[in-house]
Amino acid sequence: MGVDRDFIQKAIEREGLLFLGVVPLEVEEDFRRYQEWLAQGRQAGMQFLEKYQELRLDPRKLLDNARSAILVALPYDLGAEMPPPRVAQYARFCDYHQVLWERGERIALALGLQKSRVVVDSAPVLERALAASSERGFIGKNTCFIHPDHGSFLLLGEILTTESLHLDSRTSPRSFEKKSKEGGCGPCKQCQVACPTGALDKDYQIDARRCLAYWTIENRGPIPEEFWPHLAEYYFGCDLCQTSCPYNVSRGRKLPSDLEIKEIPSLFEVATMTETQYQKFFGGTPLTRAKRNGLRRNALIAMKVTRDPRLSEALILADKDAESPIRETLEAIRKL
Ligand code: B12
Ligand code: SF4
Ligand code: SF4
């Protein structure tokens, strides 16, 4: 088909996104790694990662006769960080799934793709594996996809298509000198040193059972007390293995200019928010992944470990509406 790469790149850049490449839908080697990872129990309680293995192995099954994926990324390095306790950077603007779906569909339209499907981590796809098979980046020891020039503060999306497009070649000379067969980390281990819980205990592998992003976003129950002190830094998600990476030299805000950075309410407001306030503060943002009770749980713990002067007031209010995991968290705070 006559869609050339320049045309694809321009259509993607018009939407404020980064073009990562066009790749075949083949991830066998990464699938084997993913299965080894599961076999070690490193997925913690994320049972959704164990499902739909046949789709993860063969993403062509996500769209009939799909041949390739056009890879896009939403850059989101926000420059100046919030003071701690903070939320991870990707959570400070509207839900990236929505942004990438909308823009991905507009790109597919502009390119005149006959049949396409935009996928953003909602479908069972090994997204980092696909991105790393492009000529434009690699998976780092922190397990993030890193672009040598843009770092890893990138959210990934794929436009699956049935068109036969000119593909990135795995064997052609790399367009970025820092990407090598071994990956671009070389002997660096800064992310592993910076991870406060030892979750990056093996190169290129994470143990979600020790990752703060898992405990504060995905886990629906109480958070084990050994992790509490770290919520003084991030109480939703965690960026420490990225902010420590030499590829993430921040040159100021990189988020597309039409996306707004949202105000995050105080810990007291989060810990005591009603359902209506929850919708007002966080509706349409990635923070809703933790749900209202998960966010209240996290904020109460952060108040406890930072000795917030309004903790006692927050505990009284939280007590009035304390389902799990708030009830368990309140009991644990009172015992300490
Ligand atoms: C489950 C999940 C999590 C889990 C588990 C993370 C993990 N590393 O698996 C938790 C909740 C911990 C998490 C945290 C975060 N996540 Co998350 N997450 C996912 C999700 C939904 C699935 C990931 C998955 O399949 N994991 C299974 C493992 C085995 O696969 P993998 O992480 O891709 O790992 C690869 C490498 O480790 C490599 N590998 C393994 N062993 C070896 C050995 C060698 C030698 C080599 C070279 C490679 C290698 O192969 C694996 C397969 O390709 C993806 C979206 C998606 N569908 O892919 C987003 C995704 C990975 N998350 C994302 C983000 C932004 C985050 C956070 C930064 C959010 C935050 N600030 O808190 C953190 C980062 C933590 C970290 N260091 O990974 C982005 C990452 C973008 C990027 N530039 O890489 C993704 C791609 C979502 C998106 N669409 O943008 N996440
Ligand atoms: S997100 Fe935080 S806790 Fe998880 S691996 Fe990275 S530094 Fe460690
Ligand atoms: S901090 Fe160093 S080892 Fe970790 S991902 Fe970045 S370059 Fe690789």
Which ligand is in closest contact with the Cα of 42? 1
Question: Atom 8 in ligand 3: which residue has the minimum CA distance?
Answer: 185
The Cα–Cα gap between 159 and 107 comes to 9
Q: Does residue 140 have its Cβ closer than 6 Å to ligand 3?
A: yes
pLDDT over 80 at 126, yes or no? yes
pLDDT over 60 at 214, yes or no? yes
**243, 72 contact by CB (below 8 A):** no
Model pLDDT, residue 4: 87
Model pLDDT, residue 296: 98
Question: Atom 1 in ligand 2: which residue has the minimum CA distance?
Answer: 238
Burial (CB count <10 Å: 0-12, 13-18, 19+), residue 38 = middle
Predicted TM-score (pTM) of the model is 0.96
Of the candidates 278, 252, 274, the one whose C-alpha atom is nearest the C-alpha of residue 264 is 278
Q: Which of 4, 121, 149, 207 is catalytic?
A: 121
Cα dist from 104 to 32, 122, 267, whole Å: 29, 14, 35
Looking up tokens 């030299």, which residue turns up?
249
Give, for ligand 2, the residue of 87, 197, 209, 219 to mutate: max count of ligand atoms closer than 8 Å to Cβ.
197
Model pLDDT, residue 170: 58
Q: Does residue 195 have its Cβ closer than 6 Å to ligand 3?
A: no
Return phi, psi of residue 19, to 5°.
-90, 125
Specify whether 308 is catalytic.
Answer: no
Question: Residue 48 C-alpha to ligand 1 middle, in angstroms?
Answer: 14
Q: Which residue ranges have their beta carbon within 6 Å of ligand 1?
A: 30, 33-34, 37, 46, 49, 88, 90, 120-121, 125-129, 139, 142-145, 152, 154-156, 183, 204-206, 208, 211, 213-214, 217-218, 237-239, 241
Sequence-separated (6 or more) residues with CB below 8 Å from residue 312? none
Average pLDDT value for the chain = 93
- What is the rounded average pLDDT of the residues 56-80? 95
Return phi, psi of residue 191, to 5°.
-65, -40
If pLDDT is split at 50, 70 and 90, which confidence band does 177 have? very low
If pLDDT is split at 50, 70 and 90, which confidence band does 176 have? very low
Q: What b/e string do you get for 148-184 counting C-beta neighbours within 10 Å, with b at 16 or more?
A: bebbbbbbbbbbbbbbebebbeeeeebeeebbeeebb
pLDDT over 60 at 1, yes or no? no
Which ligand is in closest contact with the Cα of 247? 3
The Cα diameter of the chain in Å comes to: 68
The Cα–Cα gap between 326 and 303 comes to 14
pLDDT in tens, 251-298: 789 999 999 999 999 999 999 999 999 999 999 999 999 999 999 999
The Cα–Cα gap between 87 and 199 comes to 19
- In the chain, domain spans: 5-161, 190-335
| E strand or H helix that includes residue 147 | none
pLDDT over 60 at 100, yes or no? yes
The Cα–Cα gap between 138 and 41 comes to 24
If pLDDT is split at 50, 70 and 90, which confidence band does 248 have? very high
Of the candidates 44, 242, 32, 71, the one whose C-alpha atom is nearest the C-alpha of residue 144 is 242
